[in-house]
Amino acid sequence: MSERSSGAFLVGLEFEGTGAHPYSWRREDSRAEDLFTPSYWVDLVTAADRGGVDLAFLPDSFGLQSEGQHAVRGRLEAVATAARLSAVTSRIGLIPTATVTHTEPFHISKAVASIDYSSAGRAGWQVAVSDTAEQASLFGRKAVQGPESAWEEASEAVEVVSRLWDSWEDDAEIRDAASGRFIDRDKLHYIDFEGKNFSVKGPSITPRSPQGQPLIAVDASRPEARELAVARGDLIRISATDLGEANATAKLVHANAAALGRSVRVLLDVDVLLGADRGAADDALAELEEWAGAPYAPHSLFYRGDSAGLTVLLREIGGLAGVDGVVLRPLALAAAVEKIAADVVPTLNPRPTTGPTLRERLGFELPVNQFA
């Protein structure tokens, strides 16, 4: 595999319900009956953690899934799930999605910072927006926004969160028992943010976390999100139909980020359906499509076959100059996690079972506090 500043080809897993396919719950091995229990998430994410998977992406949305009444409906809140997982994992990065459109950035900042503390520096945040009338109606605070407006607001929200994460200097807690002073008040800062969508004074109620700035992930497959991804994202997810397109897109993202003086990691989404061989995987796909009553439309590059073939594909992707890693999106999650953790990831770069903060392990520098 090609040399990278992060030192390794990154492997992330997306933990979406019973799988990326909305009818995967009907499989006998789906564990759908456990979907809303802690054991389901603990079992799957700890297996990925033990196997050396680098990142656990936990999708979320304010809206119910739209595929129909016979598909998976409902989900647990991603930030709370990540908090539960922080206590039972040791290495894997925890990247919950938190939607900003109807959420105050102050609350997101302290929630993600708290996970960074409870995980000893392994937290991230995938930024998302809500741009449907259905989701706006759940709140009644404002009318539905178009995608461009929603992502413009998201950019402001990320700026607010970033400032709040820095509103305590690293040594603001002095804990001087002799004088009775716990905090050096001169090292707490009001952020005094005034924008189009938010007015936030601060400081945060949570001290600066182990990473200083938890990693920010952005799905750049939506055109409206690309400017934010390059300007603010650390982990930038892309989609592509083939490796040539993936490499070209990744190189462009790196070039645009470099023009802003930024270093990023570009991760290619790969839909995955594993079976004993290609024929078994094709049969599994046919079953899912029969239940759905429609062909499956891949989100990005689509692999189906056995674990050995997936390893070959990942090594090929690892040879691309622009792509720093992948986010695997299993169509059937429970059946895939153990195979990926046991048979695929260990064949790639050696991975320590523990380590420093996620930011350091992925090759990012610890950021200097902007108020110091």
How many angstroms separate the most distant Cα atoms in the chain?
Answer: 72
Using the predicted structure, report yes or no on whether residue 355 has a pLDDT greater than 70. no
Give a yes or no: residue 326 inside a domain: yes
Q: Are 92 and 51 in contact (CB under 8 A)?
A: no
**Residue 93 φ/ψ, nearest 5 degrees:** -75, 135
Q: Are 88 and 128 in contact (CB under 8 A)?
A: no
What is the Cα–Cα distance from 309 to 321, expressed in whole angstroms?
21
Q: Are 318 and 349 in contact (CB under 8 A)?
A: no
Q: Which residue has the tokens 């048979």?
A: 343
pLDDT digits (tens, 9 = 90+) for 28-58: 999 999 999 999 999 999 999 999 999 999 9
Burial of residue 100 (CB within 10 Å: 0-12, 13-18, 19+) is: buried
Q: Are 257 and 264 in contact (CB under 8 A)?
A: yes
What is the Cα–Cα distance from 162 to 141, expressed in whole angstroms?
25
Q: Are 216 and 235 in contact (CB under 8 A)?
A: yes
- Give the chain's domain count: 1
Give a yes or no: residue 79 inside a domain: yes
Q: Which residue has the tokens 């622009």?
A: 322
Residue 249 annotated as part of some ligand binding site = no
Q: Are 331 and 42 in contact (CB under 8 A)?
A: no
Using the predicted structure, report yes or no on whether residue 266 has a pLDDT greater than 50. yes
What is the Cα–Cα distance from 315 to 13, expressed in whole angstroms?
17
What local confidence, expressed as pLDDT, does residue 171 receive? 92
Give a yes or no: residue 281 inside a domain: yes
**Residue 121 φ/ψ, nearest 5 degrees:** 90, 35
Among residues of the chain, what percentage have pLDDT more than 90?
80
Give a yes or no: residue 117 inside a domain: yes
What local confidence, expressed as pLDDT, does residue 219 receive? 96
Q: Which of 12-21, 140-149, 350-359 has the highest mean pLDDT?
A: 12-21
pLDDT digits (tens, 9 = 90+) for 303-314: 999 999 999 999
Q: What angle do CA 138, 143, 144 make, to 5 degrees?
A: 80
Give a yes or no: residue 144 inside a domain: no
pLDDT digits (tens, 9 = 90+) for 188-225: 999 999 999 999 998 999 999 999 999 999 999 888 99
Give a yes or no: residue 138 inside a domain: no
Give a yes or no: residue 192 inside a domain: no
Q: Are 16 and 333 in contact (CB under 8 A)?
A: yes
pLDDT digits (tens, 9 = 90+) for 289-306: 999 999 999 999 999 999
Distance of CA 289 to the CA centre of its chain: 27
Q: DSSP of 86-144, one letter per residue?
A: HTT-SS-EEEEEEE-TTS-HHHHHHHHHHHHHHTTS-BEEEEE----HHHHHTT-SS--
CATH of the domain at 230: 3.20.20.30
What is the Cα–Cα distance from 46 to 25, expressed in whole angstroms?
21
* Mean pLDDT rounded to a whole number for the chain: 92
**Structure tokens of 107?**
């609350």
Torsion of CA 350, 356, 360, 362, to 10 degrees: 30
What local confidence, expressed as pLDDT, does residue 274 receive? 98
Half-sphere exposure of 274 (CA within 13 A, CB side): 25
> Other CB atoms closer than 10 Å to residue 91's CB: what's the count?
20
Q: Are 282 and 304 in contact (CB under 8 A)?
A: yes
Residue 97 annotated as part of some ligand binding site = yes
Residue 354 annotated as part of some ligand binding site = no
Residues spanned by the domain of 20: 10-132+215-362
What is the Cα–Cα distance from 134 to 193, expressed in whole angstroms?
30
Using the predicted structure, report yes or no on whether residue 170 has a pLDDT greater than 50. yes
Give a yes or no: residue 167 inside a domain: no
What is the Cα–Cα distance from 126 to 237, expressed in whole angstroms?
10
